[in-house]
A and B are shown apart, each in its own frame.
Chain A
């Protein structure tokens, strides 16, 4: 790495960006203008929206009790509103069966629903409720308020009953008719509810008074809320701690993306990339120079946006209760979080932008990147997610949660989880940078030429020019097809009531979801099914070795599984579903369980994942990429996150077995033994107890399962490592001769 070249490229790119009007606009002007502008619009809209009165049709006003009054003149009584002016926002229209269209009576506005639309045939009186319904539906009124006949008299009767301490008569309920299909109607309903609730309080108070209870009994218990943050300088920190991390993430992404597109796709488009590539600067130096430039602009965008929010936010929201300036230390925490965030997004944007042929194509990639990032960034703020070890391991989400904890002043949490968050984030950064460098080394990416998409030609090519084994693209396609079918099948999954149904469900899902797509694609997309599915004779010792490996590794896998469950606890519903399955197993003969849960997956899943997908990925690129990709697809088909993580790790091991032995069979044996032990081990403690009581300490029943003794776990791991070392020597690399 020649650092002076990196510096030169960095300096040039920065100058180049500073001379670009569009970039400058995005980075400096947009943030300064956005928030005041948004504030203005928001205030404007809120005023307009709140000032609009809603039209309410009142039916049966005459049935209201004399006191307390609900309607005074042609409005609700002003004392029923917190701010008396609010009464204006509910415009009342009385309905009168006798009144004719357009005639205004002495008691204010009168209305006859349906008269405007002319739907009501003259002379045929409508039931009030039906008429109100059609009026609200037609949008003539935003809501209707119906008081049933006898309503007032019953209220009076209640009051009298209260006075006599008698059983009260039943009171018919008033009705609000509204529709959630129209926002104004919902608003009208909400306003009506508030008014009626306050009125109900007054009615209740009058009952109490009639019964001789003191007036203060309605407000006997009052609550004082003390905000500690008022004194500590963290007033309103909860809100800031939700807003600021999301803004930081989003703006460092956007701020990285536009320069990245200009620096890579733009340079390709303008034809200067080849000039640069033929200069003495090495590709890694070019990538690094560009990456640092992008990071710089990404950070700058985020900082300017945050400053702009900090400047305008408090002014705009100062009226809101519990809202203060951002916590004093927030610049420090945001600054610290900015570095990893912008590094991650810069590297991702750089890799995507390097792939694009033109700036236009580059812009298309922003959307998918956003679609992945926004949920990761916003969910922690919206979903009430807490910082736990499990959550801290999710990229972006962990960072947002950690930053939130810091802004809220939860320093103990920060200390606890800073290490995992930073480890995951820097791991993601390294991967993204490697991807970007890879893009710059790939001729196919750098000199990608526009090709017309001809579906027929492509399909023809796919079939006619198919190789003995699938391509990486074919492998990924197969994985995605399996995942899609899996997803749609899982929507129709119903908990089986007995083992027979369960067996059928598993068999169908294994055959239809996993085996069939893989076999079909093998037949259509490859010339040599034998080579594709690794149907070769493995080295003789590999089969027993795989069985021993699975058995020896089982206690450790069991411990690992428990750790994962602790990290990401199962939801109650999931727990219930799983225990339901376990009770199914308890009553089935062991050989049937092995057949369904172990043998079927061992064959079907191995053929799909270590056969088609692994071989396809193996045909280009490093063997580890093939192992990891096949393991990830393998994990994802296991549905539940907790199972998927374990399956992913097992998948890596299975991939390695396929790589070392060049055959699918050792993996099948491993898979069979692993799955069989997984379900049968629950029965083992009882069996040990009755047959080998001396050995029962090895495996004890524990809460919701079994627990291996630590010596067993350690010894098993030791044996497993020995078997792995043995396989590493015995197996021929990749089985290729």
Chain B
């Protein structure tokens, strides 16, 4: 469903000349599966998911989603996905109903189908009491529900959640995770990025650990535990990251003392 190959992304940066946000990232995600992208802040998760949602263009590498290339067929790709991140807010001056309806119409849904679909979504996400509430007046939890409804209104085969639980209280976060799990059970292909171990452990079928733009490990939770002989995901995560940083530090020291790359 999602195929990412050797994806890189550079930004110009004053301090380092250029910032390598993604450095040859590859992974695949299948339908009916939640693929977790686990990484600390600044690992490149948001950059990767923005490229998948065609908001950014990759520096090199390819991404295909449901058979469509993100660079050559961005419009098609956007039809295949529902994208939700900490940066995709809801409009202040629109009600929940208007907001979801607007994006449904942008997806080209016809009026009757859209109305029926929205009724069922609002029912399922228990949003009927905020139907006519303006975005500006909503709580964070309400906004999150509207965002989910907005992302799934056109029933896309692929859903991308970028740090979707950031800033939510436990109750709302739990409800959101339950929704994500339900969507998986409907056969959606779900990409779920987070820096919270518990979420990854509970929810994800496969996990990739992303750090400084590189994937350090990838597999099912059990595969990762077996491979690295560590039961606790948090320990495992911490160990992988510190080992990587130590190696990098050693390389940097070598370069500084000998003046050349190993």
Residues of A at the B interface (CB closer than 8 Å) are 4-5, 8-9, 12, 15-16, 19-20, 270-272, 274-275, 277-282, 443-444, 446-447, 451, 454, 457-458, 461, 465
How far, in whole Å, are A275 and B92 apart by their CA atoms in the complex? 13
Q: Cβ of B14 < 8 Å from any Cβ of A?
A: yes
Q: Which residues of A contact B193 (CB under 8 A)?
A: none
How far, in whole Å, are A268 and B90 apart by their CA atoms in the complex? 12
Contact status B17-A12, CB under 8 Å: no
Closest to B105 in A: A8
Instruction: Name which of B53-61, B170-178, B198-206, B238-246 contacts chain A.
Output: B53-61
Contact status A274-B93, CB under 8 Å: no
Contact status B14-A16, CB under 8 Å: no
Contact status A16-B17, CB under 8 Å: no
How far, in whole Å, are A643 and B81 apart by their CA atoms in the complex? 57
B55 CB, nearest partner CB in chain A, Å: 5
Contact status B106-A20, CB under 8 Å: no
Contact status A8-B15, CB under 8 Å: no
For chain B, residues 132 to 182, give those with C-beta under 8 angstroms from any C-beta of chain A. 147, 150
How far, in whole Å, are A293 and B106 apart by their CA atoms in the complex? 17
> How many residue pairs between the two chains, A and B, have CB atoms under 8 Å in the bound complex?
72
Contact status A271-B87, CB under 8 Å: yes
Q: Which residues of B contact A457 (CB under 8 A)?
A: 14-15
Q: Which residues of A contact B15 (CB under 8 A)?
A: 457, 461
Of the candidates B14, B50, B103, the one whose C-beta lies within 8 Å of that of A279 is: B103
B side interface size, CB within 8 A = 32
Contact status B93-A280, CB under 8 Å: no
Told that A272-B90, A275-B103, A458-B14 touch, could you supply 14 new A-B pairs with CB distance under 8 A? A9-B106, A12-B91, A16-B94, A271-B89, A272-B88, A272-B89, A274-B50, A274-B55, A275-B90, A278-B83, A280-B106, A451-B14, A457-B14, A461-B14
Contact status A278-B54, CB under 8 Å: yes
Q: Which residues of B contact A275 (CB under 8 A)?
A: 88-90, 103, 147, 150
Contact status B78-A279, CB under 8 Å: yes
Q: Which residues of B contact A447 (CB under 8 A)?
A: 56
For chain B, residues 29 to 68, give those with C-beta under 8 angstroms from any C-beta of chain A. 50, 53-57
Q: Cβ of B107 < 8 Å from any Cβ of A?
A: yes
**Contact A274 B108, CB 8 Å, known A279-B78, A443-B56, A465-B17:** no
Contact status A274-B57, CB under 8 Å: no
Closest to A471 in B: B12
Q: Which residues of B contact A16 (CB under 8 A)?
A: 91, 93-94
Between A16, A278, A461, A465, the greatest number of chain B beta carbons within 10 A of the residue's beta carbon is seen for A278
Q: Which residues of A contact B53 (CB under 8 A)?
A: 278
How far, in whole Å, are A129 and B170 apart by their CA atoms in the complex? 90
**Contact A278 B88, CB 8 Å, known A5-B106, A12-B102:** yes
Contact status A280-B102, CB under 8 Å: no
Q: Which residues of A contact B12 (CB under 8 A)?
A: 444
**Contact A278 B17, CB 8 Å, known A8-B106, A272-B89:** no
Of the candidates A20, A281, A465, the one whose C-beta lies within 8 Å of that of B93 is: A20
B47 CB, nearest partner CB in chain A, Å: 10
Q: Cβ of B250 < 8 Å from any Cβ of A?
A: no
Of the candidates A5, A12, A271, A282, the one whose C-beta lies within 8 Å of that of B94 is: A12
Q: Which residues of A contact B56 (CB under 8 A)?
A: 443, 447
Between B17, B50, B89, B150, the greatest number of chain A beta carbons within 10 A of the residue's beta carbon is seen for B89
Q: Which residues of B contact A8 (CB under 8 A)?
A: 102, 105-106
B241 CB, nearest partner CB in chain A, Å: 24
Contact status B106-A278, CB under 8 Å: no
Q: Cβ of B8 < 8 Å from any Cβ of A?
A: no
Cross-chain pairs A/B with CB under 8 angstroms, 8 sampled: A20-B93, A270-B91, A272-B89, A275-B150, A278-B88, A280-B75, A451-B14, A461-B14
Q: Cβ of B3 < 8 Å from any Cβ of A?
A: no
Q: Which residues of B contact A20 (CB under 8 A)?
A: 93
How far, in whole Å, are A443 and B9 apart by their CA atoms in the complex? 12
Q: Label chain A's interface by main secondary structure.
A: helix
Contact status A278-B55, CB under 8 Å: yes
B148 CB, nearest partner CB in chain A, Å: 12
Interface string of B215-235 (1 = CB under 8 A from A): 000000000000000000000
Contact status B57-A443, CB under 8 Å: yes
Closest to A269 in B: B89
Of the candidates B50, B85, B93, the one whose C-beta lies within 8 Å of that of A19 is: B93
Contact status A272-B17, CB under 8 Å: no
Q: Cβ of B79 < 8 Å from any Cβ of A?
A: yes
B143 CB, nearest partner CB in chain A, Å: 10
For chain B, residues 80 to 117, give those with C-beta under 8 angstroms from any C-beta of chain A. 81, 83, 85, 87-94, 102-103, 105-108
Q: Which residues of B contact A461 (CB under 8 A)?
A: 14-15, 17
Q: Which residues of B contact A280 (CB under 8 A)?
A: 75, 78-79, 106-108
How far, in whole Å, are A4 and B102 apart by their CA atoms in the complex? 12
How far, in whole Å, are A457 and B15 apart by their CA atoms in the complex? 7
Q: Which residues of A contact B92 (CB under 8 A)?
A: 270
Q: Which residues of B contact A444 (CB under 8 A)?
A: 12
Contact status B89-A270, CB under 8 Å: yes
Closest to A281 in B: B106
Contact status B75-A279, CB under 8 Å: no
Closest to B102 in A: A12
A439 CB, nearest partner CB in chain B, Å: 15
Closest to A454 in B: B14
Contact status A277-B106, CB under 8 Å: no
Q: Which residues of A contact B150 (CB under 8 A)?
A: 275
How far, in whole Å, are A619 and B248 apart by their CA atoms in the complex? 33
Q: Which residues of B contact A271 (CB under 8 A)?
A: 87-89
Contact status B81-A272, CB under 8 Å: no
Closest to B82 in A: A278
B57 CB, nearest partner CB in chain A, Å: 7
Q: Which residues of B contact A281 (CB under 8 A)?
A: 106
B166 CB, nearest partner CB in chain A, Å: 12
In the A-B complex, the 7 residue pairs with the closest CB atoms: A271-B89, A275-B88, A278-B83, A19-B93, A278-B53, A465-B17, A274-B87
Q: Which residues of B contact A4 (CB under 8 A)?
A: 105, 108
Between A15, A19, A280, A465, the greatest number of chain B beta carbons within 10 A of the residue's beta carbon is seen for A280
Closest to A443 in B: B56
How far, in whole Å, are A281 and B107 apart by their CA atoms in the complex? 8
Q: Which residues of A contact B89 (CB under 8 A)?
A: 270-272, 275
Q: Which residues of B contact A12 (CB under 8 A)?
A: 91, 94, 102
A588 CB, nearest partner CB in chain B, Å: 52
Closest to A277 in B: B55
How far, in whole Å, are A278 and B85 apart by their CA atoms in the complex? 11
A713 CB, nearest partner CB in chain B, Å: 49
B191 CB, nearest partner CB in chain A, Å: 13
B136 CB, nearest partner CB in chain A, Å: 9
Contact status B14-A272, CB under 8 Å: no
